[in-house]
Chains A and B, each alone.
Chain A
Amino acid sequence: MSDISSEAPSFITRFRESDLWYNFKRSPGAMIAAFLTFIIVFGAVFANFVAPHNPFDLATVDLFDGLLPPAWEADGKASYLLGTDDQGRDVFSTILYGSRISLIVGFASVGFAAVLGITVGLISGYAGGMVDSFLMRVADVQLSFPAILIALLIDGIARGIMPREVHDELAVYVLVVAIGLSFWVQYARTVRSSVLVERNKEYVQAGQVIGLPDWIILVRHILPNVMGPVLVIATIQLALAVITEATLSFLGVGVPPTSPSLGTLIRIGNDYLFSGEWWITIFPGVALVVLVLSVNILGDWLRDALNPKLR
């Protein structure tokens, strides 16, 4: 029974009193994951200020500092904490700048996929009938190809129709579109099944009785009620998108080495792995694993926390 006379609490108070926050404070795994994710995201966003060197400012890069091992090894220099690569770039700094590109591609492609998938799912679930059948068959066809293959295909087409310089410049956008287009299906399916449940609820009928047009009912009433599962998918897919970007870059079809992502760094370092310069590839690899694992753990926790049956 609620107390009618009390004032409405602010958003922050509501969040602090919510079950989600309560649950979060009691799951050490989620807290560690959130902490690590925060560190990496913070470092990536403020790379300009955090990184000890700017690896892409050619004036500061000294070729004589090339292939230095990490600072704690015998030949290491204190100014290059995690060593340097073949061109004398600080590995720690390239990881920070690389995470930035990886995260930009990850967030943007997840956002692109989510917008596309949610739109298709809303229309499909609400319209039903032929429209629904058609859209869902398209989704089925797409699901029968591996996501990486579709991304490769789109990237290949982009390379084919653009001159090299233009492509290098637009590489990030091409990646975002490629990964986004291969990821939208899951959103569409999830949103559609939620819409099928929601559209039969009485609040939707109440909107119809008021006379609201379908798009207002969809956007104002149904959309906010199907966002819970979307949030969970988006978190898990963020990790997937970062991996996919890394894979594409590792295969050499991602971002160019002049503005490397984590995947590109791993590829560059891979050439030196067996000649003793292990740090060039291992550290970006560790950064990628920590980032993806943390985001995944957060996603899993979020899914369980939002699912009342598992509590």
Chain B
Amino acid sequence: MSKELLDIKDLVVEFPSRHGDVIAAKDVNLTVAAGEILGVVGESGAGKSTIGNAVVGLLERPGRVGGGEVFLEGEQIIGKSQAELRKIRGKRIGMIFQDPLTSLNPLETIASQLIGTIQTHLGLSDAEARERAISLLDQVGIPDPSERVDHYPHQFSGGMRQRVVIALALCAEPDVILADEPTTALDVSIQAQILDLLKKLVREKGVGMIIITHDMGVIAEVADRVAVMYRGVVVETGPTAKILGNPDHPYSRSLISAVPRPDVRLHRFPVVESIEAAGECKELDLNTHWLGKARDFGKSDGPLLKVDNLEMVFKSGGMFGGGKSEVRAVDNVSFDIRDGECFGIVGESGSGKSTIARLVTSIYKVAGGSINFAGTDLTKIKKRRELNVHRRQMQMIFQDPFSSVNSRMKVRDIIAEPIRFHKLTSSEAETRQIVDDLLDHVGLGAKAAVKFPHEFSGGQRQRISIARALATRPRFLICDEPTSALDVSIQAQILNLLKDLQEELGLTMMFISHDLPVIRQMCDRVGVMSKGKMVEIADTEELFKAPQHEYSKHLISLMPSYSGLMDRDDGQAEAS
């Protein structure tokens, strides 16, 4: 490669706190050359964003650089004043942030934001700057740039906005671009376009780019070299193919093995090392234990859940609101779920998949159609008491582990609440025993019962959520994006737990996700949703091998391919 544009040497970043200094990054060494994309990958808290912020002097207080050097084309930039750094930011180092919604000023047109930045750094005249703004928009692939330049940010879609942010980063022809999770807030189809664009720009303009992400798919797609970070330390750096195919460090190995494979279905995810300890999931004898009792729901002849012509409309505008508008969130959806299977629902954001989960659980009222659960039409039941008989049999696991448990209650009370409410035990002592057993069973340990949720990490909170769902002894479990807020290694643990529980308790599951590889690992059959409609229902393997509908084909073509992904030596792959 050519000369090194950015050279980070032994960088240390520390955050002083009342519990002593927290070292967020320790002795980090990274280099980027012209025309090269360096991927920095790691899980949350690994310190990857901290490094980016330290380089451009944007560390959040009270963070500070505790040592090391950063050279931009041979010039030391650590220790420069904020005024000098301001000249470097934007002009020599361009930045792209995660959320295109908040990176643009909603009160100014694109033109004035671009022209302002161009004039600050290049000192062009108004006409020249406008000319340049239009050509930049053209370069990032915005149609009709001479017209669109006078529009406001809200007139652009999320993907288009991220293109504008990229144009903004390119304004002053920087030497280095720092992209912090540039596609995390975007849907897969838009993500692919943005990544293509970034790759093209780096090659054409010969800039160096650091792309910070938690997503192995993004890395596989664009990066030339990868640095793997773990708890503030770069554990391994190397060419992408090497890191993905044959990593040296044990952490890189576990991280990559935890990535759900899009190509082969595995029985279980390999056990991931170097992550938070989860206690052993204790075995329970289900023939004698409470949890195994009352599994005599009686086999229904037909499917357990049968949804016909389901409709849901969101109305906005109220009493004094005036103009009412309607959004058809679920549009004539029919499907059924057989006893004991795992049915997946996949689709992009806004496709109505979570709405279906809330209709089935009667959180929302249906606008039309029927929901038959074990032979009873739930939409016809008016009384809560009657509905609760069925509700007890279906439980739900939510997406956000931080808001799905009440942070003001002790873990014991959270899990005991459904047991006490439905009076599933005869005494308080029995309830406590069952809560302890449930906590043991999901790998948290009975001692977690007396703690509050904030003492647990995201993955552990998701285990609390699972234990609560099991506390009604359900036969049907709805998982609404249960792992999309979690790191990939934690995701592997949680998915393994869900698989075990399903097998052991004979649960029927509805598994909602936007993540195709996860769906492939978890589900027997899949329904594909787009804009409120279910466009295709097929067996998982069939869908992935030969999608029928145009939209399914499109979705599957966007999956990251991970060519040359590390082969797993544990031989757990099932012939599919």
Binding site for B on A (CB under 8 A): 1-2, 4-8, 22, 129-130, 133, 201-203, 205-213, 216, 220-221, 224-225
Contacts and interface: CB of A to CB of B under 8 A. Distances in A.
B20 interface: no
A274 B320 CA distance: 57
Which residue among B358, B387, B388, B408 has the maximum number of chain A CB atoms within 10 Å of its CB? Answer: B408
A207 B465 CA distance: 12
B408 A225 contact: yes
7 contacts: A2-B456, A202-B403, A205-B361, A208-B363, A209-B361, A209-B396, A211-B392
Given A210-B417, A211-B384, A133 B391 contact: no
A139 to B, nearest CB: 15
Contacts of B363: 205, 208-209
B421 A210 contact: yes
A281 B505 CA distance: 77
Given A5-B447, A130-B319, A209-B363, 10 more contacts: A1-B276, A4-B444, A4-B445, A7-B450, A202-B400, A210-B417, A210-B421, A210-B472, A221-B406, A224-B409
Contact of B451 (A8, A208, A212, A213): A8
Contacts of A207: 417
Nearest to A1: B276
Contacts of B396: 205-206, 209
Nearest to B399: A202
B455 A206 contact: no
A214 to B, nearest CB: 9
Which residue among A2, A220, A224, A225 has the maximum number of chain B CB atoms within 10 Å of its CB? Answer: A2
B105 interface: no
B447 A4 contact: yes
Interface in B347-369: 358, 361-363
A84 to B, nearest CB: 52
A205 B358 contact: yes
Nearest to A210: B418
A5 B448 CA distance: 8
Nearest to B400: A202
B295 interface: no
Contacts of A205: 358, 361, 363, 396, 398, 404
Interface residues of B, number: 46
Interface in B404-422: 404-409, 417-418, 421-422
Interface of B: 18, 276-277, 279, 318-320, 358, 361-363, 384, 387-388, 391-392, 394-396, 398-400, 403-409, 417-418, 421-422, 444-445, 447-448, 450-451, 455-457, 460, 465, 468, 472
Nearest to A217: B406
Contact of A203 (B279, B403, B444, B447): B403
B18 to A, nearest CB: 6
Given A208-B363, A209-B361, A211-B391, A2 B457 contact: yes
B280 to A, nearest CB: 12
Given A2-B451, A8-B451, A130-B319, A202 B407 contact: no
A4 B388 CA distance: 34
Contact of B395 (A1, A5, A209): A209
Contacts of A5: 445, 447
Nearest to A208: B363
A5 to B, nearest CB: 6
Contact of A1 (B400, B422, B457, B468): B457
A28 to B, nearest CB: 18
Contacts of B358: 205
Contacts of B398: 202, 205-206
A31 to B, nearest CB: 17
Closest 9 CB pairs of A and B: A8-B450, A202-B404, A211-B388, A224-B408, A202-B398, A211-B391, A201-B403, A2-B455, A210-B418
A59 B279 CA distance: 75
B151 to A, nearest CB: 31
B18 A22 contact: yes
Given A202-B403, A211-B422, A129 B318 contact: yes
